[in-house]
Structure 1
């Protein structure tokens, strides 16, 4: 049972690491967000959904 849990944790960790690597490639994170702040949550949600669609999740 310990190995199965370890595999699940490893899988989740790799997914998170890939997501962080993808975020680092986005220009918005290095240049800053220059639009209305009240629209930022919708922009993040849209970008997340597009990335999930692109990767087949």
Structure 2
């Protein structure tokens, strides 16, 4: 489970993600048939939403 927090601040926006691999590449065979963590579950959708935010 990954914990994510986001907030608006006086200087902009802040996001904290409690996972070092959520957008990383090379799953090191943890997930057969999937090469990158970005392709697991909704990680790519999450990244796109963060960028759009």
**Length-normalised TM-score, structure 2:** 0.31
Higher relative contact order (CA 8 A, sep 6+): 2
Structure with the higher fraction of residues in helix conformation: 1
**Length-normalised TM-score, structure 1:** 0.29
